[in-house]
Chain A
Amino acid sequence: MSAVLAPRRRELIRAAAERSLTRRRLTGRIAQGLCAVAAVAAVAPLVTLLYYTISRGAGALSWGFLVNAPTPPTISGGGISTAIVGSAEIVGLALVLAIPTSLLAALFLFERSGRLAAALRFSADVLTGVPSIIIGISAYTLLVLPLRQFGNLAAAFALAVLMLPIMIRADEEAMRTIALDLWEAGIALGARRGRVARSVVLRGALPDLVTGNLLAIARAVGETAPLLFTLATPLAAMTLLIYTDGTQAFPVAQQTAWGTALVLLGFVLLLSVAAKIAAWRISQRAR
C-alpha cells in the first residue's frame, strides 16, 4: 500500500492544531465566562424580587395585619384578613370542583384508548397554554353575566378551569409512569375496574399525584387576571388586593400591597418547595 497520507498535508494539520490552540482555549474561556454571567443574570431577578418584597413588605407585616379586617383608609390597624380568607375560600372551592374531575378525567384517559381520549388529551395540552385572562373572560361570560353578580363561585370556577388541564395531564402522567403494570395485573386478575382504579392506581400513584396537584394549586393561588373578571371587590382575594392597592399612588396603599405580596409570595414559595421536596423524596425511594 502506498503512503496515501500526504506528508505535507499532515504537517499542515499538525501546525494548524498547535497554532490555534491558544486562540481556541481563549475563546472557550470567554464563552464559558459569558455563560456564567448569563447564569448569574438568570438568578438575579429572583434574588432582587425576594429582596424588595421582603424589605418593603416586612414593614407592613404584623400579627394584626394578618388577622384584622381591612379598615377605611384613614383608620389605622387594618389588615388583610378578608383577602387571605377570601383567597383560601376561592381556591378551596376551586379544588372541590377540580380534584375529582381531574382524577376521573385522568382515569378516563389512562384506561381508555381511541380517538376521543386522544382528542381530550390534546385539548388538555392546548388548554394549559391558554392565558389566564381568557379564562377570566370566559367565566365572566358564563357565570357573572347570566347570574348578574360577581362572587366567589365564579372566581372558583375560573380557577378550576385553569387548574384542570394541568392536573389532568399531571395525573395521567403519574398513573402511566407508576401504575401501568399494576393496573394490567389487576385487570388480568379479574378485578372490577373501579376497584383496580381505587386500590391500585390511585393508591400507587398518590405521591406523584399530590406533587403534581400541589404545583397546580401554587399556580392558581397566584393568579390575578381571572379574579379581575369575577370578583366585585379587591378585598376578596390577595392577588386582587395587590393589584388594586399597588397601582394607587398612596404610600399607605402601596405598603399594604407589599405586605400582601410578601404573604402571598411566602405561601406560594412554601407550596412549591414542598412539592419539590416531595418529588425529590419520591425519586429517592427505589421503585
Chain B
Amino acid sequence: MIPDAALGLPGGVDPGSHVRRALAGRRTRAGEPAYMALRWAGAGLFGALVIALLVSIAGGSGQALVHSGIGFLWSATWNPAAGQYGAGILVVGTLLTTAVAMVIVVPIGLGTAAFLSELAPSWLAAPLSTLIGLLAAVPSIVVGLWGLIVLTPIFANQVEPFLASMPVLGWLFRGEAYGPSILLASVVLAVMTLPTMVALSRTALAAVPVADREAALALGATRWQAVRRAVIPAARSGIQAAVTLAVGRAMGESIAVAMVIGNRPAIPASLTAPGATLGSAIVNQFAEASPGIGTSSVIALGFVLLILTVAVNAGGQALLRRGHGTAVSTAGALR
C-alpha cells in the first residue's frame, strides 16, 4: 500500500492514544536519553527548516513590500524596467489559467473516476487507473517541453483558429494567436493536475457504501441513475476536496507554465493571447531582476503565491478530513 502521504494526501489517523497508554507510569531507562535526543534533533531540524522557509520568504520580500506598500498585492502593473512592481495582474493570470484548467479537468476527471469506479469491467479498471497514475510521475519539465515544442505549433495553426470559429464561445478565442497563450498554459496545467483529480475522486466514489448503490437499484433505477443520483452526491465532499487540491497544484505550477504562456504581464484580450502567472513570472524574471528591489519583488511574488497555495491546500485537506466523518449522523435529532 502506497501511503497516502506519499501522494501528498493527509492521513486521517488518530494519533497518540497508544502512546499515553503504553508509557503511563514508565520510568526512563538507561540509554534512552540519547535516543530521545536524536528524535528531538530530527523533529527539531524539521521544525527549524519550516520556520526558516517562512522567514526567508517573508524576509526576502520585505524590501519590496516596504517599497511598494501593501498595494503590491493588487497593483496591476508589473514593469520592472519602469520600476513598477505589482502582483495584481499576475494573480489574475494565475486565477485565470487555473480556472480554465479546472473547466477541462473537473468533467474529464470526474467522468474518468466514475468510469473506473462504477462502470468499467474489473479487468480494465486497475491497469487503466495505474496508467493514469503514472502521469503524475512525469516531471513537470518534460510536460513543459512537450507543451512548448509539440503543442505550440498545433495550437497556433489548428486548435486556436478552430476554436475562434466556434459559434457560441468563439469570441473567447479571437485575437492574436501565435502559440504561447493562456489557453495553452491551461491545457498544460490540466494535463498535470488530471491524475490528482482522478485519484482523489475515485477514492471518494469508492468510499460510498455499496448499500447506497443497491438501494437505488432496488428501487428500479438504471445503473447510471444509481451512479448519478445516489453515488456521486454521497461523495460530494470528497470530490470537492479533490477539486480543491487540484486547484492548489495548478496554482503552484511554474516551470511548465513559464514555457508556454508567453510571459506577458498584461490583461489578455482573449484566451489565445499570451499572459503571465505568479509562477511563470518568478521563473522568467528571476534571472534578470535587478538586485535589491528587483529580486525582492520577485521573492514577494513568491510570498503571495505561498499564501494562496497554502490557503487553498489547507482548505482541501480540511475537506478531506471532514469527508472521513460523514458517516457520523446527528441521529435522533427529530425524535
- List residues of A whose CB falls within 8 A of some B CB: 17, 24-25, 27-29, 31-32, 34-39, 41-43, 45-46, 48-49, 52-53, 56, 100-109, 111-114, 117-118, 120-121, 123-135, 137-138, 141-142, 161, 164, 166, 168-170, 172-174, 176-177, 180, 183-184, 187-188, 190, 192-194, 197, 208, 211-212, 215-216, 218-219, 221-225, 228-229, 239, 242-243, 246-247, 254, 257-258, 261, 264-265, 268-269, 271-273, 275-276, 279, 282-283
CB distance B140 to A224 under 8 Å? yes
CB distance B46 to A105 under 8 Å? yes
A187 to B3 Cα, complex, angstroms: 25
- Interface-forming stretch among B75-83, B219-227, B327-335? B219-227
A82 to B35 Cα, complex, angstroms: 40
CB distance B139 to A264 under 8 Å? yes
- Interface-forming stretch among B7-15, B168-176, B265-273? B7-15
Interface string of B109-149 (1 = CB under 8 A from A): 11110111001100000001011101101111111111011
Closest Cβ of chain A to B52, distance in Å, is 6
B305 at the binding interface (Cβ < 8 Å): yes
A208 to B224 Cα, complex, angstroms: 38
CB distance A170 to B6 under 8 Å? yes
A130 to B305 Cα, complex, angstroms: 9
CB distance B108 to A38 under 8 Å? yes
A52 partner residues in chain B, CB cutoff 8 A? 146, 150
Closest to B249 in A: A129
- List residues of B whose CB falls within 8 A of some A CB: 1-8, 10-11, 13, 15-23, 26, 29-32, 34-36, 38-43, 45-47, 49-50, 52-53, 56-57, 59-60, 107-112, 114-116, 119-120, 128, 130-132, 134-135, 137-146, 148-150, 191, 194, 198, 220, 222-225, 228, 245, 248-249, 251-255, 259, 279, 282-283, 286, 298-299, 302, 305-306, 309-310, 313-314, 316-317
A52 to B153 Cα, complex, angstroms: 14
A27 partner residues in chain B, CB cutoff 8 A? 222, 224
B283 partner residues in chain A, CB cutoff 8 A? 133, 225, 228
A130 to B308 Cα, complex, angstroms: 10
Across the interface, A138 reaches (CB within 8 A) one of B29, B57, B115, namely B57
A161 to B178 Cα, complex, angstroms: 39
CB distance B306 to A134 under 8 Å? yes
> 22 A-B contacts, Cβ less than 8 Å apart?
A49-B142, A53-B142, A56-B149, A100-B42, A104-B38, A105-B43, A109-B15, A129-B8, A130-B53, A131-B251, A131-B253, A131-B305, A133-B279, A137-B298, A142-B52, A164-B46, A211-B2, A222-B142, A224-B139, A243-B141, A258-B149, A283-B1
Across the interface, A46 reaches (CB within 8 A) one of B18, B109, B134, B141, namely B134
Across the interface, A35 reaches (CB within 8 A) one of B57, B115, B131, namely B115
CB distance A169 to B11 under 8 Å? yes
A135 to B319 Cα, complex, angstroms: 25
Closest Cβ of chain A to B319, distance in Å, is 13
Closest Cβ of chain A to B56, distance in Å, is 4
CB distance B314 to A43 under 8 Å? no
CB distance B255 to A243 under 8 Å? yes
Closest Cβ of chain A to B295, distance in Å, is 9
Given contacts A104-B41, A141-B299, contact A128 B1 (CB under 8 A): no
B39 partner residues in chain A, CB cutoff 8 A? 104-105, 107-108, 111
B245 partner residues in chain A, CB cutoff 8 A? 129
CB distance B255 to A224 under 8 Å? yes
CB distance B282 to A246 under 8 Å? no
Q: Which 6 A-B pairs have the closest CB atoms?
A: A104-B42, A113-B16, A222-B139, A131-B252, A38-B111, A169-B5
B251 partner residues in chain A, CB cutoff 8 A? 131
The DSSP consensus for interface residues of chain A is: helix
A31 to B229 Cα, complex, angstroms: 13
Closest to B150 in A: A52
B23 partner residues in chain A, CB cutoff 8 A? 187
A34 to B227 Cα, complex, angstroms: 14
A105 partner residues in chain B, CB cutoff 8 A? 39, 42-43, 45-46
Closest to A112 in B: B19
B137 partner residues in chain A, CB cutoff 8 A? 218-219, 222, 268-269, 271-272
A114 to B115 Cα, complex, angstroms: 42
CB distance B139 to A137 under 8 Å? no
CB distance A49 to B112 under 8 Å? no
B149 partner residues in chain A, CB cutoff 8 A? 56, 246, 254, 258
CB distance B53 to A108 under 8 Å? no
Closest Cβ of chain B to A164, distance in Å, is 6
Given contacts A164-B49, A265-B138, contact A42 B108 (CB under 8 A): yes
CB distance B120 to A169 under 8 Å? no
A194 partner residues in chain B, CB cutoff 8 A? 31-32, 34-35, 38
B248 partner residues in chain A, CB cutoff 8 A? 129
CB distance A176 to B119 under 8 Å? no
CB distance A137 to B57 under 8 Å? yes
Closest Cβ of chain B to A245, distance in Å, is 9
CB distance A101 to B115 under 8 Å? no
A134 to B314 Cα, complex, angstroms: 17
CB distance A123 to B194 under 8 Å? no
Given contacts A100-B42, A169-B10, A228-B286, contact A141 B3 (CB under 8 A): no
CB distance A38 to B107 under 8 Å? yes
Across the interface, B134 reaches (CB within 8 A) one of A38, A118, A272, namely A272
Closest Cβ of chain A to B35, distance in Å, is 3
Find the residue from B18, B39, B299, B314 having the highest chain A CB count within 10 A: B39
CB distance B317 to A125 under 8 Å? yes
CB distance A142 to B198 under 8 Å? no
Across the interface, A261 reaches (CB within 8 A) one of B141, B220, B298, namely B141
